[in-house]
Chains A and B, each alone.
Chain A
């Protein structure tokens, strides 16, 4: 179980940024390897998150004034 709650938006944006970084073709092998691994990890986690089906509904009672 992941200890920290996934910020879907942040992670998705990070993945998009990595894809863009590769598109630009930066010539750095070390960074490239690191970013590739990060991208695969993000895609995996995000896909897992998409499997989550439940939506929680809670009714909030209006306070009387």
Chain B
């Protein structure tokens, strides 16, 4: 007889499963029900058919397809009893969507859900800044897409500060890395966030259709620009982005202006200002001349008026009267006297005549 502990027993069972189960060649096919995420790290659901049900769980980073209730899937992995609760479940390694066009159908469902939530609304799209300076770039440093993007940026513009968040852009763990990069970039001060990769099959582009990636892009405070190599299908990451580039090269073109074009625009502006200013100067000079002309006319009129006034004053000059035979009588104090009142004999007076003054006395 052999006595085992409970832990020992379950460890034995789990090891046995591992030894006999082919995790790459055997899959269980069924319908997803009660799909949920816990703590953002674990995904679980019931896989069922008409008569039976088994619980499936897997770490979120291994999720490579959009799982939803009602979806038919094939699950690769290994049966396992969770020792703490003695619960039997299937620990998944990989999930495939079953049936022809299954993946497309799953994506269409996810698309519909996100669209209803307003994630793709064009009204919420923000423009990219005209002259960005700090850029967060999420890409694989080994990819051709990265090389193309950087090359075109260099060709067109300088003085940029680019922070590369190197990530896997396909396969296991890629969505989780991309989401983490988007979140980390969100803490920095960037003018734009760029996510790019080269083209690929629908399966290879699954990270860009991953609900978590799409939602992270949607929540980004930094304006987003997403571009993937030439493909027939547009991924949801591109759809949710503020701006979509058709290729990595196109992303670079949409992000920065071309220095040659801008130099031309600058020269055009400079010439425009110079020409208008010159024209203005001519106009102003003419206006000044006009003012001077008007002023000189005013001065002429004024001087005529002054001359006639002088003439008028001259006509009142008493000396002109004296010339005609009249005399001005002044008393001793030099005051002009026009009446005999108050005058007595012997009063001294002065007579001012045409050619001089003579003293006289009253008789």
A59 engages B184 (CB within 8 Å) = no
A22 engages B272 (CB within 8 Å) = yes
Q: 1/0 per residue B114-136: CB within 8 Å of A?
A: 00000000000000011101000
Q: Known contacts A32-B280, A55-B159; is A50 also within 8 Å of B154 by CB?
A: no
Instruction: Compute how far the CA of A22 lies from the CA of B272 in the bound complex, rounded to whole angstroms.
Output: 9
Q: 1/0 per residue B161-193: CB within 8 Å of A?
A: 111111100000000010011001100000000
B163 engages A60 (CB within 8 Å) = yes
Instruction: Compute how far the CA of A36 lies from the CA of B275 in the bound complex, rounded to whole angstroms.
Output: 10
Asked whether A4 is an interface residue with its Cβ less than 8 Å from the other chain, the reply is no
Q: Known contacts A22-B277, A22-B280, A36-B277; is A56 also within 8 Å of B160 by CB?
A: yes
Q: Known contacts A9-B131, A52-B158; is A57 also within 8 Å of B273 by CB?
A: no
Q: 1/0 per residue A46-65: CB within 8 Å of B?
A: 11011111111111101101
Task: Determine the chain B residues whose CB is within 8 A of the CB of A58 once the complex forms.
Answer: 161-164
Q: Known contacts A39-B270, A43-B266; is A60 also within 8 Å of B164 by CB?
A: yes
Task: Determine the chain A residues whose CB is within 8 A of the CB of B153 once the complex forms.
Answer: 55
Task: Determine the chain A residues whose CB is within 8 A of the CB of B166 once the complex forms.
Answer: 59, 62
Asked whether B263 is an interface residue with its Cβ less than 8 Å from the other chain, the reply is yes
Instruction: Compute how far the CA of A59 lies from the CA of B146 in the bound complex, rounded to whole angstroms.
Output: 13
Task: Determine the chain B residues whose CB is within 8 A of the CB of A27 once the complex forms.
Answer: 284
Asked whether A29 is an interface residue with its Cβ less than 8 Å from the other chain, the reply is yes
B167 engages A57 (CB within 8 Å) = no
Label chain B's interface by main secondary structure: helix
Candidates B158, B184, B185; contact of A54 at CB < 8 Å: B158
Instruction: Compute how far the CA of A12 lies from the CA of B133 in the bound complex, rounded to whole angstroms.
Output: 14
Instruction: Compute how far the CA of A43 lies from the CA of B163 in the bound complex, rounded to whole angstroms.
Output: 29
Chain A proximity of B308: nearest CB distance (Å): 38
Asked whether B305 is an interface residue with its Cβ less than 8 Å from the other chain, the reply is no
Asked whether B269 is an interface residue with its Cβ less than 8 Å from the other chain, the reply is yes
Task: Determine the chain A residues whose CB is within 8 A of the CB of B130 once the complex forms.
Answer: 9, 12
Beyond the given A8-B131, A22-B276, please list 18 additional residue pairs across the A-B interface where CB-CB is below 8 A: A19-B272, A19-B273, A19-B276, A22-B277, A25-B276, A32-B277, A36-B273, A36-B274, A43-B267, A50-B266, A52-B159, A55-B150, A55-B157, A55-B160, A55-B161, A58-B163, A58-B164, A59-B166
11 contacts between A and B (CB under 8 A): A9-B129, A9-B130, A19-B273, A32-B280, A32-B284, A40-B270, A40-B274, A50-B262, A55-B158, A59-B141, A65-B180
Closest 6 CB pairs of A and B: A22-B276, A43-B270, A52-B158, A9-B131, A55-B160, A52-B159
- Using a CB–CB distance below 8 Å, which chain A residues touch chain B? 8-9, 12, 15-16, 18-19, 22-23, 25, 27, 29, 32, 36, 39-40, 43, 46-47, 49-60, 62-63, 65
